[in-house]
Chain A
Amino acid sequence: MGVQYFAGVDVGSATAKAVLVDAAGTICAHVVVPSGGNLTLAADRVLAAALERVGAVPGDIAALVATGYGRESVANRTKTVTEITCHAKGAHVLYPDARAVIDIGGQDSKAISLDAAGMIRKFEMNDKCAAGTGRFLEVMARTLEVPLDEVGPRALTADRPAKISSTCTVFAESEVISLLAQGETVERILAGLCLSISQRVNSLAMRAGMAPRVIMTGGVAKNTGVVRAIEKAVGLPLTVPDQPQIMGALGAALLARNEAVK
């Protein structure tokens, strides 16, 4: 029998992520694919792609933990764990001195505070509204005709942020359009949007309680404009892992490994 793997599959509203770790907990493969309309299919695809990377077959998976909004759609799961526990686990293993996690995904944002052992002290999530999440940025980037990966760098070049008073995605979109009509620069509007996200996340962060070191995870962590704005709002530097998107899946894979050890 070959190497045994422990899998974590995180099916989010925007993307599905898979991570494979070995018995030592080392990351062997990680893949991100768009979730699309069929979550079960997305989960199958992302896991198959991860297995392909290491030349393994489904039979080599000793345990699989599913997480994320579509966690119930993952086939052959050993168990499901919420993304809150998974992000906390991933962050704690990569950064044992982590005391807080800020995660902004496609459809939700959360702030988690951890104790020294990596246990969750408290967590806060956004309400039903998608304002202040990745989806909000996507809608705004499309309105402004700016590619998503340019939003951060361009926001950072603004001399000052435009004032976006509404936190609602729908209202903010019309506000952005009227700002454009008034001749406001795209850069200032982008900076204004980053600031608006940071303010929303900050209220979650304050309620959960923040202490260094703070890890930022989720797809939006790739946006430097938002990261800088949150640092300013929270008043603490953020550590962004190389692959912020896969932290939930990594945590799930590590929990799968614990599960097998039990």
Chain B
Amino acid sequence: MSNRMAKKVTNWTKEMALYSLLRATLAKRKLDQKISKALGSGKKSTGAKRIPIKTGDKMKLLMGRYYIRAKVAEKDPDQKIAWITSGGPVEILHAAGVIPIYPENHAAMIGTMRMADSCCATAEDQGYSRDLCSYARSDIGSILSKKSPIGGSPRPDFLVCCNNICGTVTKWYQELQRMFDVPLIMIDAPYQYGEDRPEAIDYVKAQLQEMIDQVSQITGRPFVWGKFEDTVRRSEQALQLWRDVQDMLAHRPAPMNSFDTFIHLAPIVTLRGTQECIGYYKMLQAEMEGRVRNGVAAVEGEKYRLGWDNLAIWYKIQFLAKKFGEHNAALVVSTYAKSFSYQAPYRDESDILRSMAANYIAGYINHGLDYRERELLEMAEKFHLDGFVMHSNRSCRAYSFGQYELARRLEEKHGLPTIMIEADQSDTRSWSDEQVGTRIDAFMESLAARKSNAIK
């Protein structure tokens, strides 16, 4: 026992040492930026200017600490690590003291750091089709080539896959199981065409019950129900805060751009269920409240308000924010950022597991077209939208399927114009600056013409 205690202390010391190294690095980077700005050697930005969000600094530390902790835990046989899909039942893992790792978040970082092309190429060399999701290719390629922006994800002790976000994850996680030779827990969340069906909720609940037993077997510790309830409460509180922050973008001018919300998704995805996550969104909320009070606009001279559908295009966030900003267009709501704050209509305080099961099938992309049309319309009204930007994402069939039909319905039935941007969430080979730029310019020209005609 004392041996185990000693190891715990060593690990904690290691974690702290790495964490202070991270703090020092980030502080130095910030200082360097300040110096270069003061010396005037920094690149002069042209066009729309973006105001940095202060809470973002906190996120770098938060995310850094999370990955440091997980990397240290990799060497600790008592500390279990599970890889899990973004919409998966992470609350069960937290309650069981398991560190969750999200390959999708890792893949998004690979995309943002523009390492996806080389990671994807490694996977393609091994025979994975280029038509496969670029997150799956990036992550598998990163495991194989050991190229990663964070030195690779820590090795999993087991895997948890919930197919409420797509069918691809089923095969992706089977591949991971083959590569790491560890247990795989699969949660099947049936696709919902109309109202969420009670039997589907029961079906998912039964699987969650089974998962609790499996996790308890893997960790060798009994599952403490009280801990689970606490985690669920923390999760719900964070989701509510994230919803509230997004709702603040309904304000004119919007205090934050949807492109910023994509960046600030990281804690809700990876730290949902922890106290840090709640603290983070409280801070972000306070900063945004300050902006609303002082009339600070994310896009100077905001004239147009647009919605965004589908995943972020990680390697082109700056380009897109600038491009739309030049047209005084703010993106103020997205189905993507909202994906991490869906709440099921069903809720029963006396049956938390069933309530969670309902939540796991409640997401936007686990639903058919009529549901999606209703969602988009609600967003259009609530956020006073002039149009919708649809990212037709080569990687994500579950999201992109039906977008043309949705665009048609929005235009014909509701007079809401849409623009389709053909790209990929992280594979830059599916992108062209010139073609997308022209499409956006043309779309904004037609919006401007509509607006000036409407005034006449």
Contacts and interface: CB of A to CB of B under 8 A. Distances in A.
Contacts of A127: 422, 435
Interface residues of B, number: 18
Interface string A119-134: 1101111011000000
Contacts of B430: 128
Contacts of B450: 119
B446 A119 contact: yes
A207 interface: yes
A85 interface: yes
A117 interface: yes
A151 interface: no
A83 interface: yes
A84 B446 CA distance: 9
Interface string B398-414: 00000010000001000
Closest 4 CB pairs of A and B: A84-B442, A82-B442, A120-B446, A82-B441
A127 B422 CA distance: 7
B422 A128 contact: yes
Interface string A176-204: 00000000000000000000000000000
B46 interface: no
Given A122-B411, A123-B446, 16 more contacts: A69-B434, A80-B441, A81-B445, A82-B438, A83-B438, A84-B446, A85-B446, A108-B435, A117-B453, A119-B449, A120-B445, A123-B442, A125-B439, A127-B435, A128-B422, A128-B430
B432 interface: yes
Contacts of B420: 124
A127 B430 CA distance: 10
Contacts of A125: 435, 438-439
A108 B438 CA distance: 11
6 contacts: A84-B446, A117-B453, A119-B446, A119-B449, A120-B446, A125-B438
A120 B449 contact: yes
B423 to A, nearest CB: 10
Contact of A119 (B422, B438, B442, B453): B453
Given A128-B422, A128-B432, A85 B453 contact: no
Interface in A71-129: 80-85, 108, 117, 119-120, 122-125, 127-128
Contacts of A84: 438, 442, 445-446
Interface of A: 69, 80-85, 108, 117, 119-120, 122-125, 127-128, 207
Given A108-B435, A119-B450, A85 B422 contact: no
B434 A82 contact: no
A122 B432 CA distance: 21
A69 B438 contact: yes
Given A119-B450, A127-B422, A207-B404, A82 B435 contact: no
Interface string B342-375: 0000000000000000000000000000000000
A80 B438 CA distance: 11
A85 B404 contact: no
What secondary structure prevails in chain A residues at the interface with B? mixed
Contacts of B411: 122
A80 B444 CA distance: 13
A11 to B, nearest CB: 12
A111 to B, nearest CB: 12
A81 B438 CA distance: 9
A84 B435 CA distance: 12
Interface in B48-76: none
Interface string B419-436: 010100000001010110
A85 B432 CA distance: 20
Nearest to B418: A122
Contacts of A83: 438, 442
Contacts of A119: 446, 449-450, 453
Contacts of B432: 128
A180 B74 CA distance: 62
A9 to B, nearest CB: 16
A51 B449 CA distance: 31
B453 A82 contact: no
B434 A85 contact: no
B324 to A, nearest CB: 15
B395 to A, nearest CB: 15
A80 B450 CA distance: 19
Contacts of A117: 453
A85 B438 contact: no
Contacts of B442: 82-85, 120, 123
Nearest to B417: A122
B400 to A, nearest CB: 13
A256 to B, nearest CB: 15
A125 B440 CA distance: 12
A128 B438 contact: no
A84 B420 CA distance: 15
Contacts of B446: 84-85, 119-120, 123
A103 to B, nearest CB: 12
Contacts of B422: 127-128
Nearest to A128: B432
A119 B404 CA distance: 21
A16 to B, nearest CB: 16
B65 to A, nearest CB: 40
Contacts of A128: 422, 430, 432, 435
B247 to A, nearest CB: 31
Nearest to B437: A82
Nearest to B430: A128
Nearest to A124: B420
